[in-house]
Amino acid sequence: MNNDQQLVIIGGGPVGTGLAVELGLRDISCALVERRKEIQRIPKGQNLMQRTMDHFYCWGLADTLRSARVMPPGYPIGGVTTYGNLMSDYWYVPQQREAVNDFFFQVNERLPQYCMEEVLRDKLKTLPSVETYFGWNAEAIEQADNTVSVSIANVDSQVRDNIEADYVVGCDGGRSMARDAIGIERSGSDFDQKMVLAVFRSKELHERLKRFPERSTYRAMDPNLKGYWQFFGRIDVGEGWFFHAPVPLDTTVENYDFKALIEKAAGFEFECEFDHLSFWDLRIAVAETYQLGRIFIAGDAAHSHPPYGGFGLNNGLEDARNLGWKMAARLKGWGTDKLLASYSEERHPIFKETGENFIAARIEKEGKFFETYNPDEDLEAFLVAWEQKKEGTARLVTTYEPNYEGSSVIDGPVGGVSSAHGEHSFKARAGHHLAPLTLSSGKNVFEELGNDFNLLALDDEMKVAEAFEKAANELNVPLKIIHDTCADDREDYKARYILIRPDHYIVWSGDNEPKDVVQLLEKAVGKCQHLSGMHEIK
Ligand SMILES: Cc1cc2nc3c(=O)[nH]c(=O)nc-3n(C[C@H](O)[C@H](O)[C@H](O)COP(=O)(O)OP(=O)(O)OC[C@H]3O[C@@H](n4cnc5c(N)ncnc54)[C@H](O)[C@@H]3O)c2cc1C
C-alpha cells in the first residue's frame, strides 16, 4: 500500500498519545491528530494501576513518570470511606491496589493525568515516525478496500487537509466522532444522574482531614444518594483537590451553590477557591465492537463510565498496549487480520464486565447497604455490616484480574473465557499477565524481556528453546529466548517454558516441548484457526 501514513490516531488524550508512543517505538509511521493545542489542566485519571506502570516501564518512561509525581514519594495512594460526611464516627481504610503489588513488576502510582500526558507528549518528540497535528480537528473518515482517509481542519486557520492511511484508531474520547462515523452502537447501565466535577484549593480541608491516616482520596457516602459517591481526591498534599458528586439534572454552573454541596459532604464549613467546574453523566457506555474494517476505537471512545475505581484511564492504556503490537505485527507482515481482530475479541469482554460487575454492581450494592443499615436505628447490625463492607472493598481489588483465557490467539484452557474476574497468582497461566521473577543474574525477568515475543526457558537444556527459535525463524516472528537455569523463585511459575506476548500476556506455558511449536506460534499471530489446549510432548 502507498498511503501517507501507516496509521492515523484521532485524539491525543492519554490513550491516543500512549498508542502513538507504543507504535513510534515500533517504527510504525503514524499521524496523531488532536484538536487541543495544550493539555487540559484537569487532574482526572490519577490512579495508575501496576499494569499501567508496566506499560510505562516498557516505554522507557517509568522513572520519568514517577519523578513527575506531585505528591511526595511514598505518600499513600488508597482511600478513606466514611458514612454520611467526612466528620462521621464511622469510617474505614480498606486495603486497596497495593494489596496486589507483588504480582507485578511495577508498583502503582498516583499523579494528575495532565502530568502523565506531558511525559507521553515529551516522549513523542523523540520518535521520528510519529507526526503530530496538535490544533487539528478530525472531521470525517472514509474507508475503502485498501485505505482509510481522514479529513482534518486546523482549528485556527480552518486550513483543510486529508491523510490517507492503512488504518485509523479513534482515541477521541466519550463523544467519539470515529465511533459515530462507523455507526458502532453502545450499551450499558444509565443512571440518569448528573454529576459535578469541581477542582478547588483549600488548606483548611487538608488540615481537618488529619483526623484520618494519610490517604489520597475520601469517599463520603451519603445514605440518601443511592450508592453514588461524593468523592474528594488530593491533587497535591496541602491544598489542591478535586471533588465529584451527584447534582440535580437541571444544575448549571450559575444556578447552584457548589461550596455548600462540598461543605455538606465534608461535614463542616471551610474556605476554598474554585479553579474548575464541569459536569458529566453517570452512565456506563461500552461499544458493541472495537473494530469495523480498518477503523478501530480505544479508550473512552470504546468504553466510558463513572470514575469509580480508577478503571477508565488504566483500561484505555491497556487497549493501546494490546492493539499497538498487533497493529505493528500486521503492518510488518508477521501478524494477520485475525490477530488484529483479537484486539476487540480480547478487550471488549473485559470492559463489559468491568463496567457492569465492578462499577454498576458496586453502585447498586452500596445503595442497598445504605437502605438496609442505619447506625441510628440498629448500631450493632450496622457495625457488623460496615466491617463486611470494608472487606468487600478489598475483594474488589484482589478479584480484578483481567485475563484472556478465551482468546483465539492464546493457548488457553479448553472452555476458557476472557474475563475481568480472576485470581492473582505467580503461576504462569496462559491468558494471564506474567508475574515478576528474579533471575539468577539478580535482574528481574521484566528487565530482560524484549519488545516482541519472548520464550522464557528455565532449564539447562537447549532443545526446547531451539525448537522455538527454528519455528520463529520459519514464520518470521521476532522472538527472544531468555535462558535461566537457577532462578531462585522459578518454582512459583510452575512451568519450565513460558511463551510471552509483546504485551507480556502468556500465550502458553509447560514443562515440556509443545507437540507442534510451529502451530503454537501460528496461533499466537493469528495464522491458525483451531488448536485449543496445546498438549506437550511427554
Ligand atoms: C474526575 C475524573 C477522575 C478520573 N479518575 C480516574 C482514575 O483515577 N483512574 C482512571 O483510570 N481513570 C480515571 N478517569 C477517567 C480518565 O480520565 C479517562 O478514562 C481518560 O481520560 C480517557 O482517555 P482517552 O484518551 O481515551 O480520552 P480523553 O481523555 O477524552 O481524550 C480524547 C482526546 O481526543 C480529542 N478529540 C476528540 N475529538 C476529536 C476530533 N474530532 N479531532 C481531534 N481530536 C479530538 C480530545 O480533545 C481529547 O484530547 C477519571 C475521569 C474523571 C472525569
Structure confidence at residue 487 (pLDDT): 60
pLDDT at residue 309 in the model: 87
Question: Which of ligand 1's atoms lies nearest the C-alpha of 46?
Answer: 8
Task: Tell me how far apart the alpha carbons of residues 48 and 33 are, in angstroms, rounded to a whole number.
Answer: 25
For ligand 1, whether the C-beta of 12 sits within 6 Å is yes
Q: Are 106 and 60 spatial neighbours (Cβ–Cβ below 8 Å)?
A: no
Query: Is the beta carbon of 171 within 6 A of some atom in ligand 1?
Result: yes
Residues near 224 by beta carbon (within 8 Å), at least 6 away in sequence = 370
Q: What is the mean pLDDT of the chain?
A: 94
pLDDT at position 530: 56
CA 162 from chain centre, in angstroms, equals 31
Residue 357 has what DSSP assignment?
I
Percent of residues in the chain assigned helix, strand, coil, to nearest 5 = 35, 25, 40
* Residues of the chain where predicted confidence (pLDDT) is lower than 70: 1-2, 486-489, 529-538
Residue given cell 443512571 in the structure block:
191
Mutation probe of ligand 1 site: the residue of 275, 284, 313 with most atoms within 8 A of C-beta? 313
Distance from C-alpha of 84 to C-alpha of 82, rounded to nearest angstrom: 6
pLDDT of residue 17: 98
pTM for the full predicted model: 0.96
Question: What is the Å distance from ligand 1's center to 13 Cα?
Answer: 6
300 alpha carbon to ligand 1 midpoint, in Å?
Answer: 6
- For ligand 1, the distance from its centroid to the CA atom of residue 174, given in whole angstroms, is 8
pLDDT of residue 538: 44
Nearest-angstrom CA–CA distance, 380 and 445:
50
Cα-to-centroid distance, 12 and ligand 1 (Å)? 9
423-443 pLDDT, tens digit per residue, is 999 999 999 999 999 998 899
Instruction: List the grid coordinates of 57.
Output: 516501564
- Looking from the CA of residue 280, the nearest atom of ligand 1 is 53
**CB-based contacts of 126, cutoff 8 Å, min separation 6:** none
**Which one of 22, 47, 172, 279 would you pick to mutate in the ligand 1 pocket, going by the greatest count of ligand atoms within 8 A of its CB?**
172
CB atoms < 10 A from the CB of 124, how many?
Answer: 16
Rg (alpha carbons) of the chain, rounded to whole number = 24
Helix (H) or strand (E) holding 400: strand 400-403
How far is residue 396 from each of residues 84, 286, 298, 300, 358, measured CA to CA in Å? Answer: 22, 20, 24, 22, 7
What is the pLDDT, as a whole number, of residue 310? 87
Q: What is the pLDDT of residues 81-104, one digit of tens each?
A: 999 999 999 999 988 888 899 999
Atom number in ligand 1 closest to CA 244:
1
The whole-number pLDDT of residue 489 equals 64
Element (H, E) at 21: helix 14-24
pLDDT value at residue 460: 80
> How many other β-carbons are positioned within 10 Å of the β-carbon of residue 175?
10
Nearest atom (ligand 1) to Cα of 314: 11
Pull the grid cell for residue 180.
459515530
Measuring CA to CA, which residue among 433, 430, 429, 427 is closest to residue 401?
A: 433
User: In this predicted structure, what is the pLDDT of residue 414?
Assistant: 94
Tell me whether residue 252 is exposed, middle or buried, using C-beta atoms within 10 angstroms of its C-beta: 0 to 12, 13 to 18, 19 or more: exposed
Identity at 227, one-letter amino acid code = G
Q: Which residue has the cell 469509580?
A: 308
pLDDT at 18: 98
Phi, psi of 533 (to 5 degrees): 75, 75
* Residue matched to cell numbers 519523578: 67
Q: Is the CB of 15 under 6 A from ligand 1?
A: yes
* Rounded Cα gap, residues 532 and 406, in angstroms: 9
Percent over 90 (pLDDT), the chain: 89
User: For a pocket test of ligand 1, which of 113, 120, 231, 397 has the largest count of ligand atoms closer than 8 A to its C-beta?
Assistant: 113
Our mutation pick for probing the ligand 1 site, out of 300, 314, 315, 321, counting the most ligand atoms within 8 A of Cβ, is 300
Ligand 1 and 310: CB distance under 6 A: yes
* Strand bridging mode 240-247 / 230-234: antiparallel
